[in-house]
């Protein structure tokens, strides 16, 4: 009886796993995410332009030796040596103005090509490399947007994300006189599932780690965000008095409740439109509250992975994207 | 769950051995992701041991974050911002207007602005480690000297305390979030600039309290 149970369990888990990961799907959603991720990546990349040499130059704020000492990479311990291996960056090789700018402009060109969908298979991998290069050059000044951005780029490397809405597609149409049906793709499913699972895990850990702090239980956390006068974009200190302060309490509780709910309920198709709508509202208000605009934008882009391709087709009625043209 | 599926039969287009290999790769990757994410805040000894295996992979792909907490913020009263300021040579330290903040980088909603804030938080974090804080302070002073032509005589890192609810409706001095009473020095040092531009910092040890920045260095 026990043996039968485990046989059934293994069979059920196996078939669910295969259905979840290996059912082929339309990559349109990932193509939309490619464009939006590319825009976030370009904004992120350009944010380095004003201070490129100020941070990474010879007399910059964070010379390579300083970074190695801050990270402990100058030591000989296993942990510290692993840190060196894991934080490889092309920018570690240069500290002169000319080379830094050469790498920077070359990186921008790659990100532009990726966003426009030019040689997408290659430029997706190169875009990930560009972003990781900046992250690993000085990990101590990275924030919350980097892990989301690198996550999206990493998983887009797997997918045929240049299939639609791309220069690759236009080039393919010019070459081919006869068009065929676009094949759905297992790699698109794997990529999409990775983003979905990773994102749900992030929401879950965001909620759990918030609950480790008393202020989230006490409903005060949003007040302490409002009180950060050096980062907030809007002044909501008028909410300090009762009864307006109840809004702060409710807002705090709703953030935690939503993050927990998203991780658990987004897998139910019926709940998705509601959750995505609330996510849009939550990240918009958090952006104004915390000043972390790019991070909130990246989270909104990542959330779009739960929008079905049929929904995109309804809104993207472009002749270039007719489902009867050739996939790249 | 598979909402995006169009042709389920295509699953058969992959041979079972390839599917098994890909499944194994997916499983290992997800294990590393969950390990890295769950150990971001307060890793157990087991997680720390497992991270030794996963770290090169997880850090290379920026999944295991050494300096950034995943939770965005704990939003506690100790979750504060910091500033780095230098006093140019020949200026009186008693006049607050003489202190020069890290470059005024414009609008606060940008990543550029946030990057300078993280540097200040990093300095506050390392303020207890004299050598490390001095190393950072020297880099910052050298940068002021080389790129802004400012010869620093003192450097300080300040913690910007948060206003509590009662102070919003209190005295005029309490209502201003940028009033001096809301700032505490967490690191101060005198700066010695040699004739060859060599910079040395001598901590004055007058920091009033240690910082607890929003930083999660493992």
Which secondary-structure segment (H or E) carries B178?
none
Q: How far apart are CA A102 and CA A99, in angstroms?
A: 5
Confidence of residue A133 (pLDDT cuts 50, 70, 90): very high
Confidence of residue A271 (pLDDT cuts 50, 70, 90): very high
Which residue in A10, A227, A252 has the most chain B C-beta atoms within 10 A of its own C-beta, making it the best mutation to test that interface? Answer: A227
Confidence of residue B210 (pLDDT cuts 50, 70, 90): very low
Which among B66, B70, B160 is the nearest to A209, CB-wise? B70
Query: What's chain B's average pLDDT?
Result: 80
pLDDT at A178: 46
Confidence of residue A285 (pLDDT cuts 50, 70, 90): very high
pLDDT at B25: 94
What share of chain B in percent tops pLDDT 70? 80
Neighbours of B19 (CB within 10 A): 18
- Mean pLDDT confidence for A170-187: 73
CB-based contacts of B102, cutoff 8 Å, min separation 6: B83, B84, B85, B116, B119, B120, B140
Both tokens of A276, joined, read 């995505």
pLDDT at A31: 94
Query: What's chain A's average pLDDT?
Result: 87
> Is this prediction's pTM over 0.80?
yes
SS3 for B155?
Answer: strand
pLDDT > 90? residue A257: yes
Q: How far apart are CA B15 and CA B122, in angstroms?
A: 51
Both tokens of A102, joined, read 């050469």
Task: Quote the DSSP letter at residue A185.
Answer: B
SS3 for B85?
Answer: strand
Rounded to a whole number of angstroms, the distance between the first and last alpha carbons of chain A is: 51
Task: Report angle CA B42, B48, B53 to the nearest 5 degrees.
Answer: 140
Residue in the block written with tokens 């993050």: A259
Task: Report angle CA A34, A39, A43 to the nearest 5 degrees.
Answer: 145
Partners of residue A214 on adjacent β-strands: none
- Mean pLDDT confidence for A309-324: 68
Nearest residue to B72 (alpha-carbon basis) of A235, A267, A212: A212
pLDDT at B48: 85
What is the distance, to the nearest Å, from the Cα of residue A182 to the centroid of all Cα atoms in its chain? 27
What is the distance, to the nearest Å, from the Cα of residue A48 to the centroid of all Cα atoms in its chain? 19
Per DSSP, the residues of A169-184 read: HHHHHHH-SS--PPPP
- Render pLDDT for B24-81 as a digit per residue (tens, 0 to 9): 999 999 999 999 888 877 888 998 888 888 888 888 898 877 666 666 666 666 678 8
Which residue in B1, B2, B3, B4 has the most chain A C-beta atoms within 10 A of its own C-beta, making it the best mutation to test that interface? Answer: B4
A305 min Cα distance to partner chain B (Å):
10
pLDDT at B9: 45
Q: How far apart are CA A136 and CA A62, in angstroms?
A: 12
Give the CA-trace dihedral at A282, A287, A293, A298, to 10 degrees: -10
B124 min Cα distance to partner chain A (Å):
13
The domain limits of chain A are: 27-153, 187-318
Helices A28-46 and A186-211 cross at an angle (nearest 10°) of 60
pLDDT at A181: 60
Q: CA nearest A153 in B: which residue?
A: B61
Q: Which of A41-55, A115-129, B179-193 has the lowest mean pLDDT?
A: B179-193
SS3 for B153?
Answer: strand
A155 close to A197: Cβ distance less than 8 angstroms: no
- Render pLDDT for B166-188 as a digit per residue (tens, 0 to 9): 888 777 777 888 888 888 889 99
- Mean pLDDT confidence for A213-221: 88
Q: How far apart are CA B203 and CA B188, in angstroms?
A: 6
Task: Quote the DSSP letter at residue A327.
Answer: P
State whether B139 and A63 contact (CB < 8 Å): yes
pLDDT at B98: 86
pLDDT at A148: 94
Using a CB-CB distance cutoff of 8 angstroms, which residues of chain A are in contact with residue B143? 54, 59-61
Per-residue exposure over A313-323, b if at least 16 CB sit within 10 Å of its own CB, e if not:
eeeeeeeebee
pLDDT at B212: 42
Rounded to a whole number of angstroms, the distance between the first and last alpha carbons of chain B is: 37
pLDDT at B76: 66
SS3 for B87?
Answer: strand
- Render pLDDT for A32-46 as a digit per residue (tens, 0 to 9): 999 999 999 999 999
pLDDT at A33: 95
How far, in Å, are A26, A31, A293, B27, B130 from residue A21 at the CA level?
A: 13, 19, 33, 11, 51
Q: How far apart are CA A219 and CA A222, in angstroms?
A: 7
pLDDT > 90? residue A184: no
Q: How far apart are CA B110 and CA A308, in angstroms?
A: 31
- Strands (DSSP E) found in chain A: 24-25
Confidence of residue A93 (pLDDT cuts 50, 70, 90): confident
pLDDT > 80? residue B147: no
Confidence of residue A85 (pLDDT cuts 50, 70, 90): low
Give the CA-trace dihedral at A230, A236, A241, A242, to 10 degrees: -130
CB-based contacts of A295, cutoff 8 Å, min separation 6: A143, A144, A145, A148, A287, B72
Confidence of residue B145 (pLDDT cuts 50, 70, 90): confident
- Name which residue leads in pLDDT, A256 or B205: A256
Which among A29, A213, A295 is the nearest to B76, CB-wise? A213
- Mean pLDDT confidence for B91-97: 83
Q: How far apart are CA B204 and CA B137, in angstroms?
A: 13
Helices A28-46 and A293-303 cross at an angle (nearest 10°) of 170
Helices B16-38 and A2-22 cross at an angle (nearest 10°) of 90
Which among B40, B73, B168 is the nearest to A237, CB-wise? B168
pLDDT at A122: 95
Q: How far apart are CA A309 and CA A30, in angstroms?
A: 9
Confidence of residue A146 (pLDDT cuts 50, 70, 90): very high
CB-based contacts of B206, cutoff 8 Å, min separation 6: B185, B188
Which among B4, B115, B217 is the nearest to A308, CB-wise? B4
Partners of residue B81 on adjacent β-strands: B160
Q: CA nearest A210 in B: which residue?
A: B74
A134 close to B112: Cβ distance less than 8 angstroms: no
- Mean pLDDT confidence for A57-68: 83
pLDDT > 50? residue B141: yes
Partners of residue B191 on adjacent β-strands: B201
């Amino acid at each position: 009886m026990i043996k039968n149970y485990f046989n059934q369990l293994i069979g059920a888990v196996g078939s669910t796993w295969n259905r979840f990961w290996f059912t082929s799907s339309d990559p349109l959603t990932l193509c939309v995410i490619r464009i939006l991720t590319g825009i976030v990546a370009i904004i992120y990349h350009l944010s380095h332009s004003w201070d490129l040499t100020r941070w990474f130059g010879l007399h910059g704020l964070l010379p390579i030796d300083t970074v190695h000492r801050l990270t402990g990479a100058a030591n000989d311990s296993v942990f510290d040596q692993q840190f060196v291996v894991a934080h490889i960056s092309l920018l570690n090789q240069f500290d002169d103005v000319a080379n830094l700018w050469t790498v920077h402009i070359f990186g921008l060109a790659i990100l532009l090509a990726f966003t426009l969908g030019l040689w997408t298979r290659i430029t997706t991998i190169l875009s990930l490399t560009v972003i990781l290069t900046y992250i690993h050059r000085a990990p101590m000044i990275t924030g919350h947007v980097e892990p989301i951005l690198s996550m999206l780029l990493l998983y887009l490397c797997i997918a045929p994300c240049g299939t639609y809405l791309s220069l690759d597609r236009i080039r393919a149409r010019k070459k081919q006189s006869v068009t065929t049906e676009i094949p759905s793709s297992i790699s698109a499913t794997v990529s999409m599932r990775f983003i979905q699972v990773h994102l749900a895990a992030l929401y879950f850990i965001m909620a759990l780690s918030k609950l480790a702090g008393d202020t989230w239980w006490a409903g005060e956390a949003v007040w302490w965000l409002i009180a950060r006068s050096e980062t907030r974009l809007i002044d909501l200190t008028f909410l300090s008095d009762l009864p307006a302060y109840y809004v702060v309490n409710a807002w705090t509780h709703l953030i935690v409740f939503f993050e927990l709910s998203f991780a658990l309920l987004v897998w139910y198709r019926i709940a998705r439109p509601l959750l995505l709508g609330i996510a849009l509202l939550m990240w918009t208000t958090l952006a104004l509250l915390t000043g972390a605009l790019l991070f909130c934008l990246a989270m909104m882009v990542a959330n779009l992975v739960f929008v079905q391709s049929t929904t995109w087709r309804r809104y993207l009625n472009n002749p270039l994207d007719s489902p009867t043209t050739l996939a790249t | 769950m598979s909402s995006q599926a169009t042709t389920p039969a295509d699953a058969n287009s992959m041979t079972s051995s390839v599917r098994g290999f890909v499944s194994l790769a997916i499983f290992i990757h997800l294990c590393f992701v969950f390990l890295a994410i769950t150990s971001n805040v307060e890793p157990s000894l087991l997680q720390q041991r497992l991270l030794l295996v996963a770290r090169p992979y997880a850090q290379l792909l920026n999944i295991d974050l050494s300096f950034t907490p995943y939770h965005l913020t704990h939003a506690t009263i100790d979750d504060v911002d910091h500033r780095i300021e230098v006093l140019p040579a020949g200026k009186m330290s008693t006049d607050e207007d003489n202190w020069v903040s890290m470059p005024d980088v414009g609008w606060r909603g940008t990543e550029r602005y946030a990057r300078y804030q993280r540097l200040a938080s990093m300095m506050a974090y390392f303020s207890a480690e004299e050598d490390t804080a001095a190393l950072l302070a020297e880099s910052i002073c050298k940068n002021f000297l080389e790129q802004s032509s400012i010869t620093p005589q003192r450097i300080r890192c300040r913690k910007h305390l948060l206003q509590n609810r009662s102070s919003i409706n209190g005295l005029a001095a309490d209502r201003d979030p940028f009033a001096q009473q809301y700032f505490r020095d967490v690191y101060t040092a005198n700066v010695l600039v040699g004739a060859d531009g060599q910079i040395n910092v001598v901590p004055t040890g007058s920091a009033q309290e240690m910082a607890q920045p929003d930083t999660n260095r493992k």
